[in-house]
Structure 1
Amino acid sequence: MAASTQPKPVSRSPSYYARQRLFQNKPAMVGLLVILFAVAVAVAGYAIMPDPSPNANNGMVQIQKKQPGFNTQVLHIPTAFGTGQKTNPLTALLFGKPATHTFLPIEGYSFRGDSLRVQPFRSNNAMADQERVYALRDLVDEDGEGTDSEGYKAYVEAHKISRETFWLGTDKAGRDVLSRLILGTRISLGIGFVAVLISLVVGVTVGAVGGYFGGWVDKLMLFLMTVVWSVPGIMLVIAISLALDSKGAWVAFVAVGLTMWVEVARVVRGQVLSLKEKTYIEAAQVLGVPQYRVIFFHLLPNMFGPLIVIATANFASAILIEAGLSFLGLGVQPPAPSWGMMVNEGFQLIGARAGLFLVVLPSVCISVLVLAFNLLGNGLRDAYDPKIPISNA
């Protein structure tokens, strides 16, 4: 009798089918690509910013509130710190490079002997500043080329005078909007990650303990969830700020995380109440498996899918909450750039020519990133639904 040539069916894990459903969801893939692009921008940070100074805070008041595409000549004037300072590459990537120059927008310049005469940029509706004179030797760095007047002139023209373009314009302090938007990506993703991490740790712990032990422990956890759920997020931020006598990014991180754990706890509690009646849990209890191992090694791994979905949704919510708090002045504090704070600055300048751009640009960034997380969250929800078929195309 001839052996059967029919191939044996391949056994796949549930996670394999979840990935297949996710990959076939085009909106979710678009959202994932946007998120990966935002993460790449946040990681690169200062390395790709036109203004790599800490917090992108290098402002030139002469060119404040300029529209996108504005360009001008800029004179680089060495500061007392000099240019001999060396910055660790990792430190520069994480925190930026300390400014070794001040920058002066100019309309024109000329050389006269051993000096440079410049005409500062004239702001809108403002009288022109008086001509300024700088000794060429004072503008040359320690490693500068040339030791005579002609050598100094060539060096200054090549290294100390440049034409700068502000692709997205400048804000009310004359700072580059593009650089602050790029750095704002790092703050938004950072606060989302920390807030989601805090909400998962607290929510999973409270929900798992309440759902598993039941009785008065469950009632206590439900009471705690109800109380926290009833407190507005802004009030909690104010309370934490007063308790810690501080306002800043890390306070906003903690406050946003502590306002989001209740939803996680409710989902985990419901899942635990359902799963703890399963046969394999009863078998583990009969065999004397410690309760913490039953919770963390038998119950929680079976909630991986729902937790990923809720974490993705909370990531989007955290970005919105942080933007709202920063808009109200309760979140990230100046000079650190936050998209919500940038919207507030633009809102105060609605009457100015560049006010519209200062409102629209960070608002679009917030909307696109939140939409990306929502699309990915919807895709993950469908991916972990076994009732949705997988296309063979």
Structure 2
Amino acid sequence: MEMIRYIAGAALLLAFVSCSVTAPIARRGYTAKVAHTPKQMRVETSKNTESGFVQYKRSDGTSEFFVPTKTINGEQMMCLTLDEVTVVAKSRSLPERLGKVNVDFVVTLPKQLQGGCRSVVVTPVLHNHGENTPLQDLTIRGELFSKVQQRDYWQYGRYKEVYKPDSLRSALAFGRFVKYPYMSGVRLDSVVEHATDVSYHYRQEVPTAEAGKRLKITLDGYVTGLDGSRLKLPPSDTLDYNISSMLTFVDTSIHYVTRIIEKYAQVQDRNYLTFRVNDTRILDTLGDNRTQLDRIESLMDRLVNQSEFYVDSIVLTASSSPEGSFARNGLLAGERAQSLRRYLCGKFPDGGVDTMIRIGWVAEDWTELSRLIGDDPCVMQKEKILHL
């Protein structure tokens, strides 16, 4: 009995060595298939399909088949019931909702890929802007492959119970006992006992913040055999997804609208220049004229060189003291305003001040005289003077 078992084991080992488990797949180029999800996925095929032919049996045992007819618009036409044909496109549109799209597709593992001594791992890959993002794996294991894994883990567990190794020895023992570890983080892990096509409806939510308008899905995968052979699956078809969003109807090009915003502001300032009696010349050495002229020039500089407002006009209003005749005072006030205008135009030759300044004058400014009398502490009998 022992000799028979030994011979059988040797024959099985020889079969593994002589022909790799993954070799038939490599020769025939089998691979996983990916397709867009049909609108209506059939759960089961109807068994009560009507026959498209009518059978007539003769007395001698032979048969003839006739195609039934229907009368349509007075004409007899042959009528046949055809099986359903499903056409799957390579491109599909996805509606965007709240910045995300649901990518779904069907992964099919043909029966030729499967086997009791094999494990098939398929990884969907999302392609977006040149970056490849692997999604969760799908794993299909053969019955014998699954039992070998269970045996390896049982041996590893027994070793830990008996010898109670530390973490380093435990890791070394795991690599020695467990040749085909279980995969973690997989979307599907199934053990197939009967070799049939396996289809899985894969659904994944993808954010579209940086997805652009197109996504692509391909499949990567490999087959592992119990003899240690490993085969990378050939490339699969590529599925294209077009992302449709209401934002695509929005014109995002930049448009410019020229709008004039008007702001009105007035700057009022009062300065006191001293003139000689019956004279209109501006002398910076007379009285406090130097200080007053510096103040006027500083205000003009702020008005001319600012960019926030458009300066419409600058009005210079001059006045004279009320002593003397009214006509003479009016003439002096007008000429003194002209002198100040010429002075400022000479100080700001490039600012357009000559066309900006307008002049006015008041021959006798009694209101200002009343204010000066009231503010001067040296004037006695103010009420009588103001009343007069």
TM-score grouping bracket, smaller chain normalisation: under 0.3
Q: What is the TM-score when the length of structure 2 is the normalising length?
A: 0.19
Q: What is the TM-score when the length of structure 1 is the normalising length?
A: 0.18
**Larger RCO of the pair (alpha carbons < 8 Å, separation 6+):** 1
Q: Which structure has the larger Rg over C-alpha atoms?
A: 2
